[in-house]
Structure 1
Amino acid sequence: MIDSTQTMNDAQLRLKALFALKKELGMADTLRFLALVHHNSTDYVEISHQIYAEQQLDEIFTRAKQNWQG
C-alpha cells in the first residue's frame, strides 16, 4: 500500500481510492458505485455542500492546515 505521507500520483490515488471503496462497500457495491459515477454527471459543488454542511469554517481550515504538504 502507499504511504499516506507521500504525495501520490494519479494512478496511486486511483488505486488507494479503489481499495478504500472495496473495504467499505464490498466489491459488488464498489462496482455499482463506479458505474453510477461513470454514467451520471457529478455535481461536486453539491457533494461539497453535503460533506461540509455541519462543519464550521475554522474546523475545515484547521484540518486543511494539518494535512497541507507544501
Structure 2
Amino acid sequence: MKHFMIKQFNGLDYATTQRLHSLGLQVGSEILAVRFYPFHGPVIIQADHQRIGIRYQVFQQLTGGDAS
C-alpha cells in the first residue's frame, strides 16, 4: 500500500469529477493505493475509511502520473 495525494481533476469528464467529489475526494486529499490490478486494470484506493475502485487512467490523472 502506498500513499498518494490528489493533485488535480483536470482531464476528467464532468460526471467522473462530480462522483469523486461526492465521495469526498478533493485536491489535496490523501489517498492510499490498496491494490493495482495488472495490465493497467482498476486501482483500489482508500480515502476516509472507504475503498473505491477507479480506472487506472483516472488514478493517473488524479495523482499527476505518479502511479506505482
> Normalising to structure 1: TM-score of the pair?
0.24
Return the index of the structure with the highest Cα Rg. Answer: 1
Greater RCO, 1 or 2 (C-alpha within 8 Å, sep 6+): 2
Q: Which has the higher helix share?
A: 1
> Normalising to structure 2: TM-score of the pair?
0.24
